[in-house]
Structure 1
Amino acid sequence: MSVEEETEPPAPNCFRILIATDNHLGYLEKDPIRGNDSFQAFAEILTLARDRKVDFVLLGGDLFHDNKPSRKTLHKTMTLLRQFCMGSNPVAFSFVSAQDETFKTAFATVNYMDPNYNVSIPIFSIHGNHDDPSGDGDLCALDLLSAAGLVNYFGRAEKVDDVQIRPMLLKKDGGVKVAVYGMGNIRDERLYRTFVGKKVRMFRPKEDTDEWFNIFVIHQNRVKRGPTNYIPETFLPDFLHLVLWGHEHDCHIDLEQNDEKGFYITQPGSSVATSLSEGETIAKHVGILEIFPDKEFKLDKVALKTVRPFVMGDIVLADIKLKARQKMDEKRISDVLCDKVDEMIEEAKQQWLAADDEREEEDFPKPLIRLRVDYSNFTTLNPQRFGQRFVDKVANVKDILHFHRKRQVNTDKKSKDVGFDVPITLPDKLDKFQVQDLVQEFLKAQNLEILPENGIGEAVRLFVEKEDKEAISE
C-alpha cells in the first residue's frame, strides 16, 4: 500500500498508530558523513505518520542515543517535532483514564488536550536504556520534551523493586477502545528478580475490562544474554494482545505469536545502525497498526527509504591460494581485500536500487561495509590506512575491516584463569559486549569485604554510559 493510496484519515471505528523504536537521535552527530543519518530516518518516520494520517505515534524507547544529548541534537529533535506534530488538525480520540496517573509532571496532562498547544499528531514514548533518567533530579531528555509539550512521556516506574503499571485508556467514538501499557527500561537483572518476586503488577480497567485492546510497550533484552540478563516473554500476562518490543535492533516487525500466552509480539528494531553487527544489516521498517472493533487488528510494515545501505561479509585468507611468502605480503593481502570490498559495495548498490524503482544510480549514498577477516597464519593490515582507499566510496572508512583468527587451544594446565572469557572467534558478538558485563564477571571472582560488588558495577555503568561524574564518588 503506497502513501499516495492512503490519504483518508482512519474511520471512527479504527485506531491507526505508527509504531517505531530505537531512533537513537544524535548518533555519531559529529561524523561528517553519518552525522545526520538518525535525523533523516526520524524525519521520514514523522513524514510517514503525517501522510498516513495516523491517530498517534507510539515509540518504544531510546529516542536519543546519549543520556545527555547535545544542544544540537535537542534543537534538531524539537524542530522536527514542531514541524510535523503541531497543527490545527483535530485529534480524533479521547484520553479517558486519569492523566495524573500516567504523566508525572507539573502539568499532568496529555499534550493535545493542553489549551496552550495545537497538536495534530500526539507522540507517546517510554524511555530506553540510552535515554533513561539519571543524575541530579533523576531526569531524562524525554522530561524536557514533555515539559515543552512535544512528547507524552509515560511508563516510568516509581519503584524498580515494586513496579506498578497503569494503562493509558484511549477511546474513539466508533467504539474502539485501546489500553496502552508502558514500562521504561530497568536493568534486566533487577527487573528479572522483580518479575520472579511477583512485584510487577499491571492494572486493568475496572469498566468494560474485556473490551479493551491491550498493548504493552517494553524496552528490555528479549534475547537471553545471561541467566537473568533478559526478560522471558512468558513473564508477561496473557491478557495482552500485542507487545511492542524495543531495545533489540534486529528488525523482526512481522507479528510473532507466543504459543503459551497467546499474545503477539512485534519488534520493529532500530531506525539507524548504531553498530556494525549482523542484526543491523536487516532492512529497517516501521509499522502502521490498525485496530478495529472486537479487538481485530492488522500491522502493515513500511520499509524506511532513507536508511544507509549496510552489507556485511566474511573472508578467510587461508582459503585464498597464496604462496608461502605472500602470506606476509601486506600489499598482496590488501589487494585481495580491496577486491572483496569492491564486490560488497556493488552488492549494496544493487540492493539499494532494487528496493525502490524510482531510485537513480547517481543518488546512491555511501554504504556501510563490514568485512570480517580470518587472518590465521597471515599478517594483518592497518584498518584505518586500508580504509583511506575507500574515502569516496564507503561511509565507515575507519572500521571496514575486522580482523580475527581462530582461537588457539591452550594445553598448558598451569595457565591461570583471569576470571572472564572473551570469545575472540566471534567478532560480531564483541560488538555487543558491555563494560559492566566485564566488570561484573571480574567482581564475581573477587571477595570484596568493604565495597559491594553490585554497587561498584552499577557505578561504573553510570560513569561510562551516562557520563555521570558523581556516580563513583557517591
Structure 2
Amino acid sequence: MIVTDTHIGYQERDPIRGDDSFSTWEEVLHIAKSQQVDFILHGGDLFHDNKPSRRTLYRTMEAIRKYCFGDQQVAIQVVSDQAQNFPNFKTVNYQDPNFNISIPIFVIHGNHDDPSGDGQYSALDLLSVCNFVNYFGKSSSIDDITVYPILMTKGMSKLALYGIGNIRDERLFRTFQQKKVKLKRPVENREEWFSMMVLHQNRVAHSPKNYIHEAFFESFLNFILWGHEHECNIQPQMASQANFYISQPGSTVATSLSEFESKPKHVGILEIQAEKFRLTPIPLNTVRPYLIEDIVLASVQISNPTDNEEITQALTEKVEEMIEKARIQQKELGRPDLKPLIRLKVDYTGYSTISVPRFGQQFVGKVANPKDILLFHRRKNTKSGVRPGVENPEAEEELFVRGVRPDPVDSTKIEDLILSFLGPTGSGSVEILPEGEFTNALHQFV
C-alpha cells in the first residue's frame, strides 16, 4: 500500500475536526489489513507537528498495534545490507524476535516531522525505537547524498526501494544540480530489479529553485512515490522527460481550504511483478466532505451594492445550497453524515464586504469551519477599463481601495542607478584588488 501526508494530530484540539486525522489513519490501516498487503509505504508527514502531543503519539501507536501486529508471517524478504538501510537498529522490525509484526510500515520523514534539535531526532525515531515503523531515508549530509536501496524479494519479484527524507528544496535542488545525489544499484542482475523512489518535496515550481525537477532522477527508475503535494493525483503519470511513472497520492486530511484539497482522497494498492506494476486507488470514506465554489456578486440580483443585509442574504442562500449538496453526496456514497467544510470564494467587485466571523455564526453546528466560510477577492481590471496614462491599473485600484492616492511612477531604472555610482565614470568606480595586496591587507588589519 502507498500513502502519504496523513498529518496525524492536525486540529486535534478542534471540538469538531479533532478526530479527523485519527479516524482516517485508522481507516488506512484497516484497508491495509483487509487487503492483506505485504507492507505499507508512507511518503512523509506522518505527523502534522514536529513534536506531536502525547495524545497523538498514543493514538497513532494504538492503531498500529491494533492492525499491524500479529502472528501472520511477512512474505517479503530484505536481502540488502540492513545495517546501511536502518543504521540505528541494523535490522528490519519484523525480523526482531521480540516482536510479532504482520504488516511492516516503511516511512520517510516529511517537512512537518523532520529531524531537529539535539541529536537530530524525529518523532519517527520514537516509533522506530519502539519497533512500530521502519524509518529510512535520513541523510547525514545534505550536500553529498548517497542512497542505498532496500532490496526486497517475494517469489520472482524484486524491488529496490530508494528513499530521501525531506530536505529544504533549494538545498536539494543544488545538490541534484551538482550531481551529488547518488543512487546505488544492486551489484548483480541490475535489470531484474523494479526500482522505486519515495521522496517528500515540492513537485510544483514555486520559484526557479524551490522544487525538484523530474529530469534530476536516474533513468533506471521505474516508479516514484511523490509526497508533500496534497492534491490527489494517485493515478500513475509518465514523467515528461524520463521513462518512469509518478504517483502523487496527496494528503488523507485537508489541512487548508484550498481548491486542490477538495479532490477525493485515496490510498493505493501497488502490485509489482517483474518490471510491470498495477496501481488500484481506494477511496477513503472517513474524510470530511469539503466543497469549494465561487460566486460573483455582480451576477446576483442585489439592488443596492452597499446593502449588507441584502449581500448577507444572497451569500446565506448559496452556503445553504452547498451544505445540502454535501449532505446529498455523502448519502449517495454511503458515508457518515459529517459536518462539511465549506469555502465560498466571493468576487465582491463593486460591492461592499461583510464580517466573515459574524456571517459564520449562523452556521455553527451546520459546518465544520464557521469562522472562515467566506473568502472575499476582487476581480482585476481588464484592459478595456484602464484609464489613459495609467501604467499599472491593478496597483492603482488597490491603492484607491485603501484610500491612498498613488505617487507618480518613477521611470528611473535600477540598472542606471548602479551604473551611475559604480560604473567607470561614476564617483565610486570599482577596481579589482590584486591578490597579493588583498592578502597583505587581510593580515595587517584583520
Q: Mark yes or no: TM-score above 0.5.
A: yes
Q: Deviations over 1:189-209 (max 9, x none)?
A: 111111110011000010221
Aligned residue number for residue 186 of structure 2:
205
Q: Who is 2:279 aligned against?
A: 299
Superposition deviation, residue 259 in structure 1: 4.3
1:82 is the counterpart of 2:55 = no
Deviation digits for residues 420-443 of structure 1 (CA, Å, limit 9, x no counterpart): xxxxxxxxxxxxxxxxxxxxxxxx
* Partner of residue 124, structure 2: 142
Counterparts of 1:27-426 in structure 2, within 5 Å, are: 27-105=10-88, 107-172=89-154, 174-292=155-273, 294-323=274-303, 326-354=304-332, 356=333, 358-359=334-335, 363-407=336-380, 409-411=394-396, 412=406, 414=408
Superimposed CA distance per residue, residues 192-244 of structure 1 (whole angstroms, 9 cap, x where no aligned partner) = 11111001100001022111111100110001110001101111111111100
Q: Is the 8 A contact 2:195 2:223 kept in 1?
A: yes
CA contact (8 A) 2:6 2:21 kept: yes
Residue type of the alignment partner of 2:278: K
CA deviations on 1:300-352 (whole Å, 9 max, x unpaired) are: 010001101110011111222322xx222221111110100011112212222
Matched, 1:23 2:6: yes
| Structure 1 residue 410, shift from structure 2 partner | 3.4
3-state DSSP of counterpart to 1:327: coil
The count of corresponding residues between Structure 1 and Structure 2 is 390
Provide closer, same or farther for how the CA distance between residues 301 and 206 of structure 1 changes in structure 2, counting only shifts above 3 A: same
Closer/same/farther in 2, CA of residues 69 and 416 from structure 1, 3 Å limit: farther
Residue deviations 1:354-402 (CA, integer Å, cap 9, x gap): 3x3x45xxx4210000001112222212111111111121011111111
Letter in 2 for 1:159: S
Question: Structure 2 vs 1, CA of residues 379 and 110 (structure 1 numbering), >3 Å: closer, same or farther?
Answer: same
Sequence identity, in percent?
54
3-state SS of paired residue (1:75): helix
Q: Residues 95-129 of structure 1, C-alpha deviation per residue, up to 9 Å, x if partnerless?
A: 11111111121x22110001111100000000001
Corresponding residue for residue 384 of structure 2: none
Contact 2:268–2:282 at 8 Å: present in 1 too? yes
Q: Secondary structure at the match of 1:308?
A: coil
Which amino acid is 1:395 matched to?
A
Q: Which amino acid aligns with 2:3?
A: A
Q: Secondary structure at the match of 1:62?
A: coil
Q: What is the alpha-carbon distance in structure 1 between the residues aligned to residue 410 and residue 342 of structure 2?
A: 38
SS of the equivalent of 2:395 reads coil
Q: Deviation of residue 413 (structure 1)?
A: 5.2
Q: Which amino acid aligns with 1:39?
A: F
Give the TM-score, by structure 2 length. 0.85
Q: TM-score, normalised by structure 1?
A: 0.80
CA distance in 2, matches of 1:270, 1:409: 35
Q: Amino acid of the residue matched to residue 384 of structure 1?
A: P
Secondary structure of 1:135's match?
coil
SS at match of 1:410: helix
Flag structure 1 segments of 5+ consecutive residues without an equivalent: 1-17, 418-474
- 8 Å CA contact retained: 2:214, 2:240: no
Which amino acid in structure 2 is aligned with residue 335 of structure 1?
Q
User: Is the 2:160–2:196 Cα contact (8 Å) retained in structure 1?
Assistant: yes
Matched residue SS, 2:13: coil
The range that moved more, 342-351 or 230-239, is 342-351
Which entry has the higher C-alpha Rg, 1 or 2? 2
Using a 3 Å threshold, how does the CA distance of structure 1 residues 233 and 72 change in structure 2: closer, same or farther?
same
Provide the rounded CA distance (Å) in 2 between the counterparts of 1:159 and 1:316: 51
Letter in 2 for 1:48: I
Cα distance in 2, alignment partners of residues 40 and 218 from structure 1: 25
Structure 1 pair 414–215 and aligned structure 2 pair: CA distance change class (3 A)? same
Q: Distance in 2 between matches of 1:78 and 1:50?
A: 16
